[in-house]
Amino acid sequence: MMRVFTLMFSVLILVACGQDGDVPVSVEKPALDLGHDYFSFANTDQFVTDHLQLDLTVDFDLQELRGSATLSMHRLDPSATDIILDTRDLHIDSVEVGTTPGELASADFEYAQTHPVLGQALKITLPDGLDQQQDLLVKIYYKTDPGASALQWLPAELTAGGEHPFMFSQSQSIHARSWVPLQDTPAVRITYAANIHTPPELLAVMSADNDPQTNRNGEYTFTMPQPIPAYLLAIAVGNIYFEAIGDRTGIYTEPELMAASTFEFASTQQMLETAESMYGPYQWGRYDLLILPPSFPFGGMENPRLSFITPSVLAGDQSLVSLIAHELAHSWSGNLVSNKTWRDIWLNEGITSYLDSRLMEVLFGKERADEERVLSYRELMQGLEEISPAMQALAPVEKLDDPDESQGSLHYKKGELFLTHMENLFGRETFDTFLTGYFKHFEFQSIASETFLDYLDQNLLQKYPGKFNRAQAEEWLFQPGLPADAPVPHSASLTEAASMAARWSAGELALEDVPLAQWSPHAAVYFIASLPPDLTEAQLSELDAGFGFSQSRNAEISRAWFIQVAARRHLPAYTQMEAHLNRYGRTRLIKPVYVALAKNGQDADLAGELFVAARDKYHPLTITSIESGLSAVK
């Protein structure tokens, strides 16, 4: 049986519960409304969620989470009779609604047809007698699908220890809906509590009040008392142990990665204290890191109280810890003050990128911070060549197709540059005071770019007139490219590395006179990326023999090198390139290698074959991203 209902922003074809929705009807996306989050179906103008209670069993055999989610919702619209939630591939058994936990009544529910990006709207009709209630409890009994886009279920052989399975979530941007039915928009902030049941030998951790002393018995409870957007809901289960690295900081990981992790991330406590001295108190209690298996799709995810981190930054020399500075900085920009919709994501990522490079400067010196700024700038300039002009605005006025893909990493790097520009104009002290005030003013709120702009105008631009005006700020926010007076970062050491790459390539310098061993890994990356296009095969072999790039254990050097190997079709390093593609699952490290291979004119088929052979090791989000990268080449 089919029925049709009209959401406030689009027409969706509903499929009766229990059918699988194979109705050949195209589904419109919601119309653009800046203020409204067009990546969510939820009717947040009628009901809003305050709190979530989860009770979930983690079943590794069936690769599912199974149990219930209870939403405490508050009515905004007296005439509303339906609650619409976001879901993706969830299997819902039943829904109950009421005002107290002991008096819940069964409620009718229906799914809308699946939208390829947004998932399925779930409409819950309030049972009789609840039409006028202000506060409602909505309890949904459900299980997740093995293909849930947020979850990765790793067999034991893909973990560091090789004996126990591992599962972890990645909810950003719009994947929380694939493991919890809820209002999946960052505009809504919720507190949560959870009872998690796991195999007794494993430990569950969440973006909540993890207890380092908890009993390992398969029964774990969590609370998250600070209100967070749904994309910060997070869970991981595995053979996880804890070790402290400071009084408020510690590492969760498999025992096999513990020693390397505590060494690599030893500066975390100092980073935390430095960040507090610059931008105000850390508001989340503990700050711990969870070091995941290699298939984690991103560098890190700023899940509050417990950042999820790729093991690919375990370089052995602390050279890639800017990632930790970044995730920690999200405790202010992103988690404390969040983007209201994914169109405003630069408020999370751009401001955080600025903060992380400021932290790196304090902790590791200006030279290193400048090297990282130059590398970031180079990626920004490359990104500008690939991203459509409409998506080059920090806050695009045009609609984004997919919050995970539309802007590449532009919102990080252009956002950082925007803040650097203002720091240069107003002075560091004044700008830091402004930022600290901004975090305090909007703490635990989700805001749009326009709200930021108004606050900036009133609290910085008008306060110190004549330096930078609203129209200039609007150019950064709403126009493509970079303003003509955008800052250009410089690093003497990277300039020297690029110059040596040119001179060695031209035969003006012997390889043994390139002091690469004394350089930072950043300079080595820059040297590789600066190699001119007309190198000979013999030169590439000489480089690899001299510097051992193919054997590097620094993931960023490997990334830079294998992009060159793939793009230049340097066949002698293809075996090691294949090993690289199987060693890492972080999208940043592998996708550009696949794309360079597919683009080199001869290896499009090989790129596809290598991907098929390795894809079981990758997270669903990484798979989707590489597939879209490869199909764009064809």
Q: Give catalytic residue positions.
A: 327, 412
For residues 193 and 613, give the distance between their C-alpha atoms in angstroms, rounded to a whole number: 40
For residues 67 and 145, give the distance between their C-alpha atoms in angstroms, rounded to a whole number: 13
For residue 120, what are the β-bridge partners?
Answer: 87
For residues 267 and 250, give the distance between their C-alpha atoms in angstroms, rounded to a whole number: 11
From residue 271, alpha-carbon distances to 274, 325, 358 in Å are: 5, 7, 11
* Long-range contacts formed by 346-349: CB under 8 A, 24+ apart: 346/394, 346/395, 346/411, 346/412, 346/414, 346/415, 346/418, 346/449, 347/415, 347/447, 347/449, 347/452, 349/409, 349/411, 349/412, 349/415
Instruction: Please check whether residue 606 is in contact with residue 596, taking contact to mean a CB–CB distance below 8 angstroms.
Output: no
Shortest separation between residue 328's beta carbon and Zn ion, angstroms:
10
Instruction: Please check whether residue 257 is in contact with residue 293, taking contact to mean a CB–CB distance below 8 angstroms.
Output: no
Shortest separation between residue 344's beta carbon and Zn ion, angstroms:
14
For residues 598 and 627, give the distance between their C-alpha atoms in angstroms, rounded to a whole number: 11
Which residues have CB under 8 Å from 136's CB, separation 6+? Answer: 47, 72, 73, 74, 75, 83, 97, 98, 99, 126, 130
Neighbours of 259 (CB within 10 A): 12
Shortest separation between residue 349's beta carbon and Zn ion, angstroms:
5
Cβ nearer to Zn ion, comparing 113 with 446? 446
**What backbone torsions phi and psi does residue 141 show, to the nearest 5 degrees?**
-95, 125
Using the structure block, give the residue that is written with the tokens 């988690």.
335
Cβ nearer to Zn ion, comparing 40 with 173? 173
For residues 439 and 186, give the distance between their C-alpha atoms in angstroms, rounded to a whole number: 17
Shortest separation between residue 333's beta carbon and Zn ion, angstroms:
9
- Residue from 3, 80, 86 nearest 38 by CA: 86
For residue 86, what are the β-bridge partners?
Answer: 121, 182
Shortest separation between residue 409's beta carbon and Zn ion, angstroms:
10
Cβ nearer to Zn ion, comparing 59 with 302? 302
Cβ nearer to Zn ion, comparing 198 with 352? 352
Beta pairing class for 11-15 and 2-6: antiparallel
Cβ nearer to Zn ion, comparing 352 with 587? 352
Instruction: Please check whether residue 516 is in contact with residue 527, taking contact to mean a CB–CB distance below 8 angstroms.
Output: yes
Residues that bind Zn ion (CB under 5 A): 349, 352
Shortest separation between residue 155's beta carbon and Zn ion, angstroms:
29
Shortest separation between residue 290's beta carbon and Zn ion, angstroms:
16
Q: What H or E segment, with its residue span, contains residue 4? A: strand 2-6
Cβ nearer to Zn ion, comparing 114 with 352? 352
Instruction: Please check whether residue 290 is in contact with residue 309, taking contact to mean a CB–CB distance below 8 angstroms.
Output: yes
Cβ nearer to Zn ion, comparing 322 with 352? 352
Cβ nearer to Zn ion, comparing 254 with 349? 349
Shortest separation between residue 332's beta carbon and Zn ion, angstroms:
12
Task: List, in sequence order, every beta strand (DSSP E) within 295-376.
Answer: 300-301, 306-309, 337-339
Shortest separation between residue 330's beta carbon and Zn ion, angstroms:
6
From residue 534, alpha-carbon distances to 25, 98, 239, 378, 543 in Å are: 52, 71, 49, 20, 14
Cβ nearer to Zn ion, comparing 262 with 338? 338
Torsion-angle region of residue 548: left (phi > 0), alpha (psi -120 to 50) or beta?
left
For residues 208 and 204, give the distance between their C-alpha atoms in angstroms, rounded to a whole number: 11
End-to-end CA distance of the chain: 41
For residue 83, what are the β-bridge partners?
Answer: 124
* Long-range contacts formed by 495-501: CB under 8 A, 24+ apart: 496/523, 497/523, 497/524, 497/526, 497/527, 497/530, 498/526, 498/527, 498/530, 500/527, 501/527, 501/528, 501/530, 501/531, 501/532
Shortest separation between residue 19's beta carbon and Zn ion, angstroms:
40
Which residues have CB under 8 Å from 583's CB, separation 6+? Answer: 294
Shortest separation between residue 358's beta carbon and Zn ion, angstroms:
15
Instruction: Please check whether residue 186 is in contact with residue 340, taking contact to mean a CB–CB distance below 8 angstroms.
Output: yes
Cβ nearer to Zn ion, comparing 352 with 600? 352
Cβ nearer to Zn ion, comparing 141 with 282? 282
